[in-house]
Each structure stands twice: as structure tokens, then as C-alpha cells.
Amino acid sequence: MDKRNLAFGKTNFIMLAVGIAIVVIGFILMSGSGSTETMFDPGIFSARRIKVAPVVTFIGFISIIGAIIYRPKEAKDTEE
């Protein structure tokens, strides 16, 4: 298979993997124990869960979009 026919290059795959890892980290930051019917857990309103984690996840999604859109500069092939 010819490399020129691939949709993504090596850089795109690396950027995509980093973006997915950032999204996973954001979801891990959002996780935690919740409240039950008998006990209220005030930790569900912590700054980590409602401010930091969504921002991290959003940055991950933006980096995934950037990895999809990114087009590496083509090397000029000058054969004379």
C-alpha cells in the first residue's frame, strides 16, 4: 500500500492518540462516588468535577478535531 494513499500520516495518528488520552483523563476526573437516597455527597459539586474536568475534556475534543484537520506539509520532490 502506498503511503500517499493513506488519509492520515504518522503525525496525525500521534495527535489523535494524545487527544483521546486527554478526553479519557477528563472523564476520569469527572468520575467519583455519587449521592444515594440516604446520604448526600457534597463532593459531586467539587471544582474538579464541574469546572476542571469539562475543560480538559473539551480541550481533548478540540485536539482530536485538530488532528483530523491537520495536513502535513508535503516535501517537494525535485527530480531533474
Residue scoring higher pLDDT (1 or 36): 36
d(CA 29, CA 25): 6
Residue ranges of domains in the chain: 3-32+40-69
pTM of the predicted protein model? 0.79
pLDDT interval class at 32 (50, 70, 90)? confident
Q: What percent of the chain has pLDDT over 70?
A: 86
Q: Looking at residue 1, what is its pLDDT?
A: 55
Position 17 scores a pLDDT of: 97
Q: How far apart are CA 71 and CA 36, in angstroms?
A: 49
SS3 at position 75 = coil
